[in-house]
Structure 1
Amino acid sequence: MSKQIGIPRIVTSRSAVTATLSVLFVACWSSGFIGAKLGAGSAEVPTLLMWRFLPLAAVLVPIVWLSARRRKTMPTPRALGRQVVIGILSQSGYLLSVYWAVDLGVNTGTTALIDGIQPLAAAALLGPVLGVAVPRMQWIGLAIGLAGVAMVTAADAGAGTSAPWWAYAIPFLGMLSLVASTFVQQRAPASTPPLQALAIHCSTSAIVFTTLAIVSGAAVPPSVGTFWIALLWLIVLSTFGGYGLYWLLLRRIGITSVNTLMFLIAPVTAVWGALMFGESFTPFTALGLAVGIVAVVVVTRVDNRPKKQDESTDSCPVRAPITSR
């Protein structure tokens, strides 16, 4: 269950079906940030995440376990342990930071943009650790991306949101958690089947968030309807919709084209949050989002240029676990 972190190329498919699926994918992936905002006012963060992942684990584990037994693809204890660690970093830690930041009042678009620079950060920061050549323009692209984040964050904070200043550091912790999971994934000697890894990650998150909810005395779900609407939203749209469409598009147009769509998440989320929740969306916000897209273009131009024969073939691919929003 991994995705390439190297900056992808522009989607070239002209199929109307593929275009429709691509639009749905961006919408479903963005819906995870909107769902976090939707549920923020109705329950504590551990409560919402506990009841999001308990049903997922209950559905996925029996299906994946029976399939693995039939196909004799049961994970070894070592592979299982590695996937548990990846799940804690890429799903539990990441989502906890996203939901916590949104709950504190950070705009959904700002949170999505900080998450969106993770491919740039992973490619630049993990390259030296993993022995992968990192072009100078990739570092420049990361710097431009960070400048875009700073602009959007400044616009968000300047608009008088309820979030304290330190809340804007929380999404960065989640982004770094994703980068750490990338490192663990890269060190794996063999890949784990996507559905199997998803089941392990969801089960791990169910245990983590149930423990947090019980310890904090927030395990009992509220009776308000908005909580269950947010929960249904997150399970159907964010997990099954976003994740399912990711793998469907992966087979149709390939990983580089699919991952290009990921860079549309931040602007779509920012507009969606402004329309649905009245979050601030100023010209400065739009400029910051545009700067973030420029960062992607800068790195894409480097990534897509023809390789010379004496250049290392290891200069691009860094892969990370994909996680449900």
Structure 2
Amino acid sequence: MSKPIGILQRRGAPVSVALGVLFVVCWSSGLVGAKLGAQDADVRTVLMWRLLPLAAVLVPVTLVRRRRTADREGSASTNPRGEALRQVGIGALSQSGYLLTVYWAIGLGVSTGTTALIDGVQPLVVAALAGPLLGAAASGRQWTGLLVGLAGVLAVTWADATSPRTGAPAWAYAIPFAGMLCLVAATFLERRARSRARPLHNLTIHCTTSAVVFTAVAVLGGAATVPDRASFWIATAWLVVFPTFGGYGLYWLLMDRVGVTTVNSLMFLVPPVTTAWGAVVFGEPVTALTVGGLALALLATWLVNADRPAAPARVRAPVRTPASAPRPTAGRR
């Protein structure tokens, strides 16, 4: 018997809800910061300076912390090198691949809200693949919500693509889909990990991997410059604090607390928030079709996360050993 994935548990639910709200705000702020930074410098320059200082801070902090807990860390994984390589792959997909596509799409003229909502297709893909890859089950109500969310994505994308104020080529709307697939792949790669969760350690590997990737891209492309505009560095600080520590860090924390489908369905809440940011800060158009699509996205989030009795799992087979707080696991069939 399988237990539905992604339902918020009663225990610790208020904390999970609060973290979910903070996650949505922080994640949406990344798209706004991306557009702000790209106004003053090349996208490759923005990405390099977003990750380099972050890696420079995280590496020594993590090394010191590991020395203090050497005994425990030494027994945390039966294959530390293999797990480290897995985290490198996760970082390359969830940061390097995802951020590069998002920044590229926004640079081509795709609005921040539409970029966020195209990324919102991710829950549908995750739910479709969760069964065969993780042995987990999405309920009928969750599937309904995910399909409603897809309809909202298509409506908003169409509104943005046909707006004369956007100016983005039609093919540019495929780029955020590529970024979404990178994040989906990273999610499943992380869920198959066997070691206990180590958020700071993993975040350090992810950011260091992306710092190396983006620095190499900037150097090879002649974009490894030091901008002299204060607005660029303000935008860079914004990107480091809110979307990286807040959005990206909370993504993996919530993955452990509430499950893969719930976390990814929260992506449907990012577009309305991002659209509001874009309209206020950048004057991006908001049409009736845009509002309708966003309303469908909100309805989808409610359908996926609405509390209901969960079927008990007679035999439980966790994807990996939990670190502390309990989280949903998939039972064997």
TM-score (normalised: structure 2):
0.80
On the 8 A contact 2:269/2:297 being kept in 1, the answer is no
Which structure ranks higher in relative contact order (CA pairs < 8 Å, sequence separation ≥ 6)? 1
On the 8 A contact 1:116/1:262 being kept in 2, the answer is yes
Match for residue 62 of structure 1? 60
Counterpart CA distance in 1 for 2:190 and 2:253 is 22
On the 8 A contact 2:119/2:267 being kept in 1, the answer is no
Counterpart CA distance in 2 for 1:284 and 1:311 is 46
Q: Are residues 1:148 and 2:152 paired?
A: yes
Match for residue 94 of structure 1? 98
Q: Greater CA deviation, 42-51 or 70-79?
A: 70-79
- 232, 237, 249: which is aligned to 1:232? 237
Match for residue 41 of structure 1? 39
Query: What are the residue-to-residue correspondences of 1:123-162 with 2, within 5 Å?
Result: 123-160=127-164, 161-162=166-167
CA deviation vs aligned residue, 1:262-310 (integer Å, no higher than 9, x gap): 5432111101101100011111101001111222233334x73431678
Per-residue deviation at 1:137? Answer: 4.2
Match for residue 6 of structure 1? 6
Per-residue deviation at 1:22? Answer: 6.7
Q: Are residues 1:219 and 2:217 paired?
A: no
Match for residue 278 of structure 2? 273
Match for residue 322 of structure 1? none
Counterpart CA distance in 2 for 1:89 and 1:58 is 20
On the 8 A contact 1:127/1:318 being kept in 2, the answer is no
Q: Greater CA deviation, 234-243 or 170-179?
A: 234-243
Per-residue deviation at 1:106? Answer: 0.8
Q: Greater CA deviation, 164-173 or 68-77?
A: 68-77
On the 8 A contact 2:6/2:258 being kept in 1, the answer is no
Q: Are residues 1:307 and 2:305 paired?
A: no
Task: Report the residue type matching 1:129 in the other structure.
Answer: L
Counterpart CA distance in 2 for 1:42 and 1:247 is 31
Counterpart CA distance in 2 for 1:249 and 1:6 is 10
Counterpart CA distance in 1 for 2:133 and 2:25 is 34
On the 8 A contact 1:5/1:122 being kept in 2, the answer is no
Identity %: 55
Counterpart CA distance in 2 for 1:126 and 1:250 is 14
Task: Report the residue type matching 1:201 in the other structure.
Answer: H
Count of residues in correspondence between the two structures: 308
Counterpart CA distance in 1 for 2:23 and 2:146 is 25
Task: Report the residue type matching 1:54 in the other structure.
Answer: L
When residues 244 and 188 of structure 1 are mapped into structure 2, their CA distance, relative to the original with a 3 A threshold, is closer
Task: Report the residue type matching 1:36 in the other structure.
Answer: A
Q: Greater CA deviation, 148-157 or 117-126?
A: 117-126
Query: What are the residue-to-residue correspondences of 1:138-287 with 2, within 5 Å?
Result: 138-160=142-164, 161-242=166-247, 255=258, 259=263, 262-287=267-292
Per-residue deviation at 1:142? Answer: 2.8
Per-residue deviation at 1:81? Answer: 0.5
Per-residue deviation at 1:176? Answer: 0.7
Q: Are residues 1:118 and 2:119 paired?
A: no
CA deviation vs aligned residue, 1:231-253 (integer Å, no higher than 9, x gap): 111112222344567799999xx
TM-score (normalised: structure 1):
0.82
Q: Which segments of 5 or more consecutive residues in structure 2 lack a partner in the other structure?
A: 319-326
Q: Which segments of 5 or more consecutive residues in structure 1 lack a partner in the other structure?
A: 320-325
Q: Are residues 1:77 and 2:81 paired?
A: yes
Per-residue deviation at 1:168? Answer: 0.7
Match for residue 106 of structure 1? 110
